[in-house]
Amino acid sequence: MRDYNYSTLAKYYDVLENVESIKSFNPVLYRILRKNKVRSVLDMTCGTGVQAGYLHKKGMKVAASDFNAEMVKIAKSKYKGIKFRKGDIRTSKYGNFDAAISIFNAIGHLSKKDFEKAIKNVGENLKEKGIYVFDIFCYDYMKDNFIRHEFIDLAKEVESKFFVRVNNNKINKKTKLISFTQKIYVQDGMNRPKIFNEKWNMQIYSSKELKDILNKNGFEVLEFLNMSGKKYKPNSSLILTIAKKK
For the domain that residue 14 is a member of, what is the CATH number?
3.40.50.150
Q: Quick one: pLDDT at residue 23?
A: 77
β partners of residue 97: 126
Q: How far apart are CA 87 and CA 137, in angstroms?
A: 23
Q: How far apart are CA 226 and CA 188, in angstroms?
A: 36
Q: How far apart are CA 156 and CA 149, in angstroms?
A: 21
> 1 lies in a domain?
no
Q: Are residues 122 and 146 in the same domain?
A: no
Contact of 60 with 98, CB cutoff 8 Å: no
> What does the DSSP 8-state code read for residue 187?
E
The tens digit of pLDDT for each residue in 207-221 reads: 999 999 999 999 999
Task: Count up the domains in the chain and report the number.
Answer: 2
Q: Are residues 50 and 125 in the same domain?
A: yes
Q: Quick one: pLDDT at residue 145?
A: 96
Q: Quick one: pLDDT at residue 82?
A: 95
Q: Are residues 164 and 181 in the same domain?
A: yes
> 239 lies in a domain?
yes
β partners of residue 241: 134, 224
CA-based torsion, 208, 213, 216, 222: positive or negative: negative
Q: Quick one: pLDDT at residue 17?
A: 85
Q: Quick one: pLDDT at residue 19?
A: 67
- Whichever domain contains 179, its CATH number is 2.20.25.110
Q: What is the pTM of this model?
A: 0.95
Q: Are residues 196 and 216 in the same domain?
A: no
User: pLDDT tens digits for the chain (246 residues)?
Assistant: 677 889 989 999 999 987 677 778 999 999 999 999 999 999 999 999 999 999 999 999 999 999 999 999 999 999 999 999 999 999 999 999 999 999 999 999 999 999 999 999 999 999 999 999 999 999 999 999 999 999 999 999 999 999 999 999 999 999 999 999 999 999 999 999 999 999 999 999 999 999 999 999 999 999 999 999 999 999 899 999 999 999
> 74 lies in a domain?
yes
Q: Quick one: pLDDT at residue 1?
A: 65
Q: Domain limits at 158?
A: 141-202
Q: Quick one: pLDDT at residue 24?
A: 86
Q: Are residues 211 and 94 in the same domain?
A: yes
Q: Alpha helix locations (H) across 10-162? A: 13-16, 19-23, 26-35, 50-57, 69-78, 112-124, 139-145
Dihedral angle of Cα 65, 66, 68, 69, to the nearest 10 degrees:
-10
Q: Are residues 195 and 229 in the same domain?
A: no
> 152 lies in a domain?
yes
Question: Which regions of 81-229 does DSSP assign to beta strands (E)?
Answer: 84-86, 97-102, 126-137, 151-158, 161-167, 170-172, 177-188, 194-203, 219-225
Q: Quick one: pLDDT at residue 110?
A: 97
Q: Are residues 127 and 60 in the same domain?
A: yes
Q: Are residues 157 and 56 in the same domain?
A: no
Q: Are residues 109 and 176 in the same domain?
A: no
Please state the φ and ψ torsions of residue 132, each to the nearest 5 degrees: -125, 125
Q: Quick one: pLDDT at residue 5?
A: 82
> 233 lies in a domain?
yes
> 241 lies in a domain?
yes
Contact of 84 with 72, CB cutoff 8 Å: yes
Q: Are residues 101 and 167 in the same domain?
A: no
Q: Are residues 93 and 195 in the same domain?
A: no
> What does the DSSP 8-state code read for residue 67?
S
Q: Are residues 164 and 186 in the same domain?
A: yes
Dihedral angle of Cα 44, 45, 50, 55, to the nearest 10 degrees:
-20
Please state the φ and ψ torsions of residue 172, each to the nearest 5 degrees: -105, 110
